[in-house]
Structure 1
């Protein structure tokens, strides 16, 4: 008798913990995202930068050198100009960089930000119909640095940017997706 009850409880727990295979229904916001992606006309303005935590970043955080409300692994960008724009076949970005440089940089470098503009290589957009989100991947370079960029665009018009560089540690940004045509 106890065995039957135990098996019944186990089956009930397995059934209750099963993942849902339901797809999310399109909303007005996801329709707006679909339109921006279809026209390749959008930008992400980031509110947060999330650098890779290293001993150096931890030391800077402990010294209190980050803006108020920030920590070493999550730095507010509110009030700092930044963007990543996709317009037609070209992309451009100006993203403040917090983290460690592995090499390079040069003496005549005027900015420490991640900055690029041009036509990317291997530009790819994939839609996840289950949650109505998009994954965007591309590679681009500036004069001395190569970037591997991955975007995750959500139907609530929030976005995430992940930048891997040939000269810097990885960093991630999160913010709002906006239509460039509205500006």
Structure 2
């Protein structure tokens, strides 16, 4: 009886050791996949030719709006920004051009990229003017290790709005026109 208990205890310890190794290999595989996505995102940003398509918008008051069926794009190419993003929120000063949403067209100013290698995070900040030229937007892209991207846009004439989606290289697929 005693030898049976010893054999059972050894089998149990062996099973726990195998499970612990499996968890460690899963963690290592996850970290490796995150490192690959981070390197790919870094490569896309360094090319200077990328676009962002949002799946969700979040207003300053926390309301989330699904944008899957709502066309939107934010393109950066040759130090120029071109964007057509829907806007949901309060407007302090209305643009009389008749364009709805956030429309950007022109050169970017104060373009800055910050890398956090420890956390595999990238932050891109810049300013861009509206297509009518009468509003300046402060834009911030935050990219995580898993490839998800958030875009925050603020302006003196509107409340802040955030978008979440994916950033892609212009060479991969053309953005929605």
Q: TM-score range by the shorter chain?
A: 0.7 to 0.9
1:172-183 mapped onto 2 (5 Å cutoff)? 172-183=162-173
> Gapped runs of 5+ residues in structure 1?
1-23, 54-71
Alpha-carbon RMSD: 1.6
Aligned-partner Cα distance in 2 for 1:85–1:157: 17
Q: 1:157/1:88 Cα in 2 relative to 1: closer, same or farther (>3 Å)?
A: farther
| Structure (1 or 2) with the larger CA radius of gyration | 2
How does the TM-score come out when normalised to structure 2? 0.74
1:180: how far off? 1.0
Match of 2:83 in 1: 93
Aligned-partner Cα distance in 2 for 1:158–1:41: 18
Match of 1:65 in 2: none
Match of 2:46 in 1: 38
Deviates more, 1:26-35 or 1:154-163: 26-35
Q: Give the conservation status (yes or no) of the 8 Å contact 1:39–1:88.
A: no
1:69-107 per-position Cα deviation (integer Å, ceiling 9, x unaligned): xxx71001011111111223112211100011011322x
SS at match of 1:147: strand
Match of 1:145 in 2: 135
Q: Give the conservation status (yes or no) of the 8 Å contact 1:157–1:178.
A: no
> Gapped runs of 5+ residues in structure 2?
1-30
2:119 counterpart of 1:135: no
1:110: how far off? 2.7
Aligned-partner Cα distance in 1 for 2:145–2:71: 24
Deviates more, 1:42-51 or 1:83-92: 83-92
1:67-86 mapped onto 2 (5 Å cutoff)? 73-86=63-76
Q: Give the conservation status (yes or no) of the 8 Å contact 2:138–2:155.
A: yes
How does the TM-score come out when normalised to structure 1? 0.71
Match of 1:121 in 2: 109
Aligned-partner Cα distance in 2 for 1:79–1:34: 29
